[in-house]
Every structure is written in structure tokens, then in C-alpha cells.
């Protein structure tokens, strides 16, 4: 009986230890909508529309660099526990955003306008692929 009690207590302690180890230290602050509206849309727009007013000095290139960095890191925020909708397509789509943001960040650091413009299709694909699956009524007009 004592062995059974010891095993039961050991099992509870082990389970609690594993549970505590699996808890993430990250805490989502904003909602998904706030991430999209306040971070992802404006930073992606900076890249989408860079051709309208091309950066002409180091300060303006710095703005593009920061936008690309924020966009890449926003992909990481989408994969946080509590935000990731699943471990399949959601993670894959979020990694697409990280990849295109990282490539844009490197291009901005090199002040390579053509490289940023060449990423446009990849950026569109990362957004629309995710929205088509996870955003209700995406591309559907009200009747």
C-alpha cells in the first residue's frame, strides 16, 4: 500500500512538473485583430507600396528596414501559444510571413529596392493563403 501511495504521489509530481515546463512564458497582449490592423497591415503596406515613394536616404531606408523586421517578427507572434489556431497550416502560413519579412529586411539593409519589389507576390501569397483558410468570409461580398 505504501508503494502504491508513493507511486501515485510521484506520478502527480511528475505530471505537475511536465505541465509547468510546458507552460509558455509568453503572454499575448493584443488581439488577433489588433496584430493585423496595428502591425501587419501597416508594415506590409510599407513594403507593398514602396514604389510609390521610394526611400531616398538612410532615414527612409531605416523605416523600411524596421517595417520589414516588424513584419517578420509578427509572423513569430502568430505562432505563439494562445494565438496559433493549429500546428499545421497556421504554422506553415505564419512561417511564410517570417520568411518574406526576413528577405525584405535583408533587402532593406542592402537598400535593394528591386529585391523588395520582387517579394511582392510572396508577401501577397503569405497573406491570402492564411486569410482564405482562417478569416471568415474572406473575398466574399455580402449579398
pLDDT per residue as tens digits for the range 74-103: 999 999 988 998 899 999 999 999 999 999
Q: In whole angstroms, give the CA distance from residue 120 to residue 99.
A: 13
Assess if residue 22 is contained within a domain.
Answer: no
Whether residue 23 has pLDDT greater than 90: no
Q: In whole angstroms, give the CA distance from residue 107 to residue 60.
A: 14
Domain coverage including residue 86:
30-134
CATH number at 34 reads: 1.20.120
Distances (CA, A) of 28 to 11, 37, 62, 72: 31, 16, 27, 17
- Contact between 40 and 71 under an 8 Å Cβ cutoff? The reply is yes
Return mean pLDDT, the chain. 86
Output the pLDDT for position 26: 81
Whether residue 111 has pLDDT greater than 50: yes
Q: In whole angstroms, give the CA distance from residue 33 to residue 3.
A: 53
Output the pLDDT for position 138: 79
- Neighbouring residues of 71: CB distance < 8 A, sequence distance ≥ 6: 39, 40, 43, 44, 47, 97, 100, 101, 104
**H/E run at residue 12:** helix 2-22
Read off the pTM.
0.79
Assess if residue 94 is contained within a domain.
Answer: yes
Distances (CA, A) of 52 to 12, 40, 55: 61, 19, 10
Confidence of residue 50 (pLDDT cuts 50, 70, 90): very high
Give residue-wise pLDDT tens across range 112-128: 999 999 999 999 999 99
Least confident of 29-33, 52-56, 139-143: 139-143
Assess if residue 23 is contained within a domain.
Answer: no
Domain count, the chain: 1
Assess if residue 18 is contained within a domain.
Answer: no
Q: Cα 98 vs. chain centroid, distance in angstroms?
A: 6
**H/E run at residue 115:** helix 113-118
Calculate mean pLDDT across residues 16-35. 72
Assess if residue 9 is contained within a domain.
Answer: no
Assess if residue 59 is contained within a domain.
Answer: yes
Output the pLDDT for position 141: 64
Looking at per-residue pLDDT, the higher value among 14 and 114 belongs to 114
Output the pLDDT for position 22: 62
Assess if residue 51 is contained within a domain.
Answer: yes
Whether residue 139 has pLDDT greater than 90: no
Assess if residue 139 is contained within a domain.
Answer: no
Ramachandran angles phi, psi of 137, nearest 5°: 65, 20
Amino acid at each position: 500500500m505504501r508503494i502504491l501511495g508513493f507511486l501515485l504521489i510521484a506520478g502527480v509530481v511528475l505530471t505537475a512538473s511536465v505541465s509547468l515546463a510546458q507552460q509558455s512564458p509568453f503572454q499575448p497582449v493584443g488581439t488577433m485583430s489588433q496584430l493585423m490592423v496595428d502591425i501587419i497591415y501597416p508594415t506590409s503596406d510599407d513594403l507593398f507600396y514602396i514604389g510609390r515613394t521610394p526611400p531616398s536616404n538612410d532615414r527612409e531606408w531605416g523605416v523600411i528596414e524596421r517595417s520589414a523586421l516588424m513584419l517578420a517578427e509578427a509572423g513569430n507572434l502568430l505562432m505563439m501559444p494562445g494565438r496559433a489556431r493549429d500546428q499545421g497550416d497556421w504554422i506553415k502560413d505564419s512561417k511564410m510571413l517570417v520568411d518574406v519579412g526576413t528577405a525584405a529586411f535583408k533587402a532593406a539593409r542592402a537598400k535593394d529596392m528591386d529585391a523588395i519589389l520582387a517579394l511582392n507576390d510572396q508577401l501577397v501569397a503569405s497573406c491570402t493563403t492564411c486569410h482564405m483558410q482562417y478569416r471568415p468570409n474572406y473575398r466574399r461580398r455580402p449579398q
